[in-house]
Amino acid sequence: MQQVLDLIAKLREEQVPVILISHTLPDVFAVTNRIIVMHRGRTVTEKLTKETNSSEIVQYMVGTLDDTRES
């Protein structure tokens, strides 16, 4: 897996778009600029990686938070 992450990091430096589908959050945070979370087939949030944390992302993953719901 480390070789894949290294390749993604290299492509990121070259500004090549990459889609990474994973629930392994340390890997996601290590190589992404932006995180989009889906829950039950719907996009529930889009965050800049530097403006969020694992705890918040987990809440979106399990359905506790949903930016698409009206308050």
| 61, 39 Cβ separation under 8 angstroms | yes
Structure confidence at residue 69 (pLDDT): 86
Give the separation between CA 61 and CA 49, rounded to whole angstroms. Answer: 15
Provide the pLDDT confidence category of residue 37 given band limits of 50, 70 and 90: very high
- Strand partners of residue 65: none
**Residue 41 per-residue DSSP state:** T
Is residue 70 predicted with pLDDT exceeding 90?
A: no
Provide the pLDDT confidence category of residue 20 given band limits of 50, 70 and 90: very high
Structure confidence at residue 71 (pLDDT): 63
Structure confidence at residue 66 (pLDDT): 96
Confirm whether pTM is higher than 0.95.
no
